[in-house]
């Protein structure tokens, strides 16, 4: 994705990422929960293919999302935005801000995907409204953007409930879906065993999603809170094709724990 010229299509980065999902290429992402563009820029300047921005579990404002998207695009990196459940109005705004695709949590029915897909696509394929916005350089690339948006922007759904797993075949087969992320924490909660990610029932449910994605040639992803080469290889072997590796919050949290250990060790040695 690096090295695209400034004269390239406003959706070149988005199209490249959607293609990776569709061909099930190994793909890597970072995750931003703290709504500051400098953090996104740090992630985007490294290896990987996309930065995910979370609106579901954070206080990040939509105005900050636009700055984060710009920071990612300055590094020629795709930016995906996870919207809040049920807030379809956010789709229009983050796409107009230049997002390369969206991630939608808590999906358990085809009807949900139909509504989301309509919000993502311009007519006649959907109902997205036209407007002058950052996504097409405030009108300078309007025609190029509008003509290729429906074929370039990606839709990733999250399956994270027992109901979603039961319907995984029809959900993953939906033509608008490019990728699927498993949400093991919420999935374990819907099974009445919150946080027990190693439980055989949770692992079996994740395997069902991965198998359904393989059958329909859709990207299948997972968020690794504490990634390692070994854990990444294990998940690829299980059928996952894209991985979100840690996040800003988890990285700072883990480093904070390490600093606490150093302080305790140092304090003990001085007493």
The domain limits of the chain are 12-245
CB neighbour list of residue 117: distance below 8 Å, 6 or more residues apart: 126, 155, 174, 176
Residue 9: predicted pLDDT: 85
Residue 198: predicted pLDDT: 86
Annotation: CATH topology of 12-245: TIM Barrel (3.20.20)
Which pTM does this prediction carry?
Answer: 0.93
Residue 121: predicted pLDDT: 98
Residue 4: predicted pLDDT: 38
Residue 3: predicted pLDDT: 38
Q: Give the bridge partners for 102, in sequence order.
A: 81, 155
Closest CA relative to residue 38, chosen from 63, 69, 71: 71
Beta pairing class for 154-159 and 27-32: unpaired
146-to-23, 56, 72, 151 alpha-carbon distances in Å: 24, 28, 21, 10
* Residue at token pair 């009807």: 111
CA angle at 176 for the pair 170 and 179, rounded to the nearest 5°: 80
**Rounded Cα distance, 57 and 54, in Å:** 7
The pLDDT profile of the chain, 271 residues, written as one tens digit per residue, is 343 344 468 999 999 999 999 999 999 999 999 999 999 999 999 999 999 999 999 999 999 999 999 999 999 999 999 999 989 999 999 999 999 999 999 999 999 999 999 999 999 999 999 999 999 999 999 999 999 999 999 999 999 999 999 999 999 999 999 999 998 889 999 999 998 988 999 999 999 999 999 999 999 999 998 899 999 999 999 999 999 998 999 999 999 999 999 999 998 766 6
**Rounded Cα distance, 134 and 94, in Å:** 10
Cis peptide leading into residue 124 (ω within 30°) = yes
H or E element: which one contains 181?
Answer: strand 179-182
32 touches 67 (CB < 8 A): no
Number of continuous H segments (helices) and E segments (strands) in the chain: 12, 8
Residue 185: predicted pLDDT: 87
Residue 1: predicted pLDDT: 37
Determine the 3-state secondary structure of 80 from DSSP.
strand
Residue 184's Cβ-side half-sphere holds a number of Cα atoms within 13 Å equal to 19
Closest CA relative to residue 30, chosen from 221, 229, 255: 221
* Residue at token pair 């996504």: 135
Residue 2: predicted pLDDT: 40
**Rounded Cα distance, 193 and 186, in Å:** 10
Residue 183: predicted pLDDT: 87
């Amino acid at each position: 994705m690096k090295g695209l010229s400034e004269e390239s299509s406003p959706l070149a980065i988005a199209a490249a990422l959607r293609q990776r999902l569709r061909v099930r290429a190994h793909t890597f992402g970072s995750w931003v929960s703290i709504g500051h563009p400098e953090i996104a820029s740090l992630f985007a300047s490294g290896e990987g293919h996309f930065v995910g921005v979370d609106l579901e579990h954070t206080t990040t404002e939509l105005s900050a999302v636009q700055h984060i998207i710009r920071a990612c695009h300055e590094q020629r990196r795709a930016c995906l935005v996870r919207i809040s459940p049920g807030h379809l109005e956010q789709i229009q705004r983050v796409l107009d801000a230049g997002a390369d695709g969206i991630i939608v949590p808590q999906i358990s029915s085809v009807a949900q995907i139909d509504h989301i897909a309509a919000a993502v696509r311009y007519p006649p394929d959907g109902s997205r409204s036209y407007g002058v916005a950052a996504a097409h350089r405030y009108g300078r690339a309007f025609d190029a953007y509008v003509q290729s948006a429906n074929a370039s922007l990606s839709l990733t759904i999250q399956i994270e409930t027992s109901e979603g797993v039961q319907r995984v075949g029809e959900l993953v087969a939906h033509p608008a879906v490019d990728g699927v992320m498993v949400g093991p924490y919420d999935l374990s909660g819907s099974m009445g065993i919150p946080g027990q990610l190693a439980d055989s029932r949770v692992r079996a449910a994740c395997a069902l999603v991965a198998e359904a994605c393989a059958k329909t040639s859709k990207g299948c992803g997972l968020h690794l809170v504490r990634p390692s080469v070994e854990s990444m290889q294990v998940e690829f072997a299980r059928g996952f094709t894209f991985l979100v590796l840690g996040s800003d919050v988890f990285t700072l949290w883990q480093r904070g724990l390490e600093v606490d250990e150093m302080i305790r060790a140092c304090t003990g040695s001085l007493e």
